[in-house]
Amino acid sequence: MADKNKLTPMMQQYQAIKDQYPDAFLFYRLGDFYEMFNEDAVKGSQLLELTLTSRSHKSKHPTPMCGVPHRAVQNYIDILIDKGYKVAICEQIEDPKTAKGMVKRAITQLVTPGTKTDAGADNAKNNNYLTALSYNDGKYGFAYADLSTGELKVSTLNSDDSVLNETLSLQTKEIVLGPKSPKKIVNLLQKVGILISHQDTVDIKSEMSYLLQGIDSELERDVLNRLLTYILNTQKRNLSHMQKVVEYQPAHFLKLDHNSQYNLEINKNIRTGKKSGTLLWLLDETKTAMGGRKLKRWLNRPLINKEDILQRQQFVESFLNNYFERSQLRESLTEVYDLERLAGKVSFGSVNGRDLIQLKSSLNQIPKLKHVIGELDSSIFGDFYKKIDPLDDIVDLIERSINEEPPISVTDGGVIKSNYDKQLDKYRDAMKNGKHWLAELEQKERNITGINNLKIGYNRVFGYYIEVTKANLAKLPEDRYERKQTLTNAERFATPELKETEALILEAQDKSKILEYNLFKEVREIVKDSIQRIQELADLVSSLDVLQGFATVSEDYHFVKPKLNDNHDLEIIDGRHPVVEKVLGRQTYVPNSVLMNADTNVLLITGPNMSGKSTYMRQLALTVIMSQIGCFVPAKLASMPIFDQIFTRIGAADDLISGESTFMVEMKESNAAIEHATPNSLILFDEIGRGTATYDGMALAQSIIEYVHDNLHAKTLFSTHYHELTALDKSLKNLQNVHVGATEKDGNLVFLHKVEKGAADKSYGIHVAKLAGLPDKLLERADNILVSLESKDKTLNHSDDDTKNTNSTDNYQLELFKQQNVSNDEFDVHVNEQNPVLEEIKQADLMSLTPMDVMNLVYKWKQEINK
């Protein structure tokens, strides 16, 4: 970088502003372009694929630079924001024509991943949350806001895991931290790719006090003030659309951590990362963007209050039973634009004429919508009907003031209707008559001079002029024509009459634009006074949108209203996985029942791979979620309790963020359920123990089943390939065996996809390998090995005596540790000398340890043995 003392005044100004925003790209306005310099230019040209040039070419240290046109700047800003960067927008804050010396410039907005408000069509149904965190005495104040809609919420969280779960569930891209944030949580947030921003100071301003009413917790008030300070500092604009903060407790909703949301594909498809193929995709029959966002919020926070669930069921049932009213409602909703984000634009001052026309068009649908609601059962929809405010005064204002097809710009004229303001009409009349006057003057001068090609024109430099070709100059009278400009083939003149007409026209044009813009701002301010009314209406409309969507989906896919019971019974007759059914088609999908009365807490599921065990488990979880958001469910009949938490361990994958193996991920997710589940929770464990050696895995699987059965009493589905575990139904009274049926036909495996009582008789692993297309020679060899292993197993387990069977298994396990041609005595000595693991196992007091401690010990021993 060049010496600051040798910089030009402009570059000194640039550098002074850049020094205030070192972590952001500085878009510096110069005329019709935003320019970047130095490191910003080098990096920006690469990210935005711009041509990199330089200033001061003759200098030993030329300044790298690149730029983007101001009319296309939003596209370039969006690219940088989507890549996780910040952009500081620097504008000219005084007119260059009146500036004395260097034009004053200042940052008018800092755009960041969490403060981006222009969602675009693809993200219209997604919130963009900016989150904030304050820490004190082991607890976190956690707040989040969506600047485009004004949503503002706060909570107190008690652990790092809770913070991580909330941020990932909200899909936030940026979090604002205070000075005391623990390094551990900072590292965790950085690992998952969340942009860390810092707001060390807190400015408590008057506009914040209203938003924080009702919040007594000092920690929550601190994090809210920190978040709002950051927003005000970066946005530098009016935030009157921010809604009064809502305090929430995660415990007031069904707890579904981000791992469970991922495993169950609630919002995002595991394979594609897209919405398609998810529960959200299936349920989204909303007609508005704000309805789509509310559906997503409801999905991420299912209810646990019975009365609230039953109320939503009533709404859905009423819509389901009133097809014509629902169809009319859907038709009206199709014409409703995003009221929440339109209110945000009004508050920001970024709303234009077309936005106000969208607002008017949306509000014009509200009377129709209200009429439809009035036709439904008043005992169910009466409260909705009373609260719906059509905002007739706002509709009337926009109808009188704004042209139906206004230009995008609000400063170039053409936005305000005629007959709205008398003075504006006078200016417009002057401009209209001015053109007529010029045409008459042109004809008059032609008649006086006899020059038929004489014409009156206009340019920005000389204004209006009379143009005469050089061949006709001699015909001009000398007393009235004043030369203004000489061209190659013509001369341009002015006359006293032309000057007078020009003054009238230009004054009307200039004053007309200024007046029209001021009138538009007045309209905008009146609308701004009604922002809270618009937001309240948006909340009602979006709720109706989601509820009618539930009714539509329930009708299309033959869902039923679930009964909610208090006696811990789970009875789902012919349940289906709704997403898989939609993909396969209803005729193809095989339904399955889930029957777990109050005395049954564990279903142990066996069956071959690809037979549908995981689908069976997932369909239960999705049914629970659908029930507790108030939707009907995919079944012939359903009666179920209300669950407080869902824990899942489905699928095998290493945790690339923490660098942990599949087995360690299994153990951690298992421990989360063991530590936090209650009798009202739902636990889904798929193939626990497969990430380690066979006997380790089997031992862990059995101990987990026993612990869940004896201590947690939660409804649990546990699938396994360890057929030995099916004998547990003899010792665990609240456990039942079920299996997914399969049969052999002509040497081939046929999946029945039907869950039946009892344990599976075979695993059919080699048959599944055959379906996968492995070579016949390989499969024949696998068959031979299987026969040999089964024969050996029978030899080892020849006695029916339980003690002998246990000893035989132990000896078989020890074969793993033996070295060839080494006797048992020699082996014991060798192990004690070379590997202390067995001695540590002998000394361990396992009965005094928690299940997680035992799991960690087993994992540690396995790692040492593998060395």
Are the C-beta atoms of 86 and 115 separated by less than 8 Å?
no
Query: What's the token pair of residue 300?
Result: 């991420």
Q: What are phi and psi of 824, to 5 degrees?
A: -60, -45
DSSP for 419-473 reads TS-HHHHHHHHHHHHHHHHHHHHHHHHHHHH--TT-EEEEETTTEEEEEEEGGGG
Token reading at 57: 């070419």
Find out whether 554 and 315 touch, Cβ atoms under 8 Å.
Answer: no
Residue the block writes with tokens 């807190």:
202
Q: At what angle do helices 531-556 and 339-348 cross, to 10 degrees?
A: 160
Residue 611 marked in a binding site: yes
Phi-psi region of 661 (alpha: psi -120 to 50; beta: other; left: phi over 0): beta
Q: Are 697 and 689 in contact (CB under 8 A)?
A: yes
Question: DSSP letter at 537?
Answer: H
Q: How far is the C-alpha of 223 from the C-alpha of 238, rounded, in Å?
A: 20
612 is in an annotated binding site: yes
Residue 443: both structure tokens together: 């004809």
Virtual torsion, Cα 843, 847, 849, 850, nearest 10 deg: 150
Burial 270-296 (b: 16+ CB within 10 A, else e): eeeeeeebbbbbbbbbbbbbbbbbbbb
In the 8-state DSSP scheme, what is residue 245?
A: P
- Residue 867 near residue 860, CB atoms below 8 Å: no
Q: Is 484 in a helix, a strand, or coil?
A: strand
Q: Name residues whose C-beta falls within 8 Å of residue 403's C-beta, 6 or more positions apart in sequence.
A: 353, 414, 415, 416, 417
Strand partners, 744: 749
- Residue 567 CB neighbours (<10 A): 8
The kind and range of the H/E element at 331 are helix 323-334
- Closest CA relative to residue 556, chosen from 580, 578, 588, 589: 578
Residue 43 marked ligand-binding: no
Structure-token match 């696998």, residue found: 782
Tokens of 818: 């033996």
Q: Give the residue from 311, 324, 255, 316 showing the smallest Cα distance to 285.
A: 316
Q: Is 630 marked as binding a ligand? A: no
What is the Cα–Cα distance from 608 to 742, expressed in whole angstroms?
A: 8
Judge whether 591 is annotated as a binding position: no
Contact 241, 531 (CB under 8 A): yes
Q: Is 748 annotated as a binding residue?
A: no
What gap in Å lies between CA 85 and CA 75, rounded to an integer?
Answer: 14
CA dihedral 577, 578, 584, 585 (to 10 degrees): 120
Residue numbers belonging to the annotated binding site for ATP: 607-614
Residue numbers belonging to the annotated binding site: 607-614
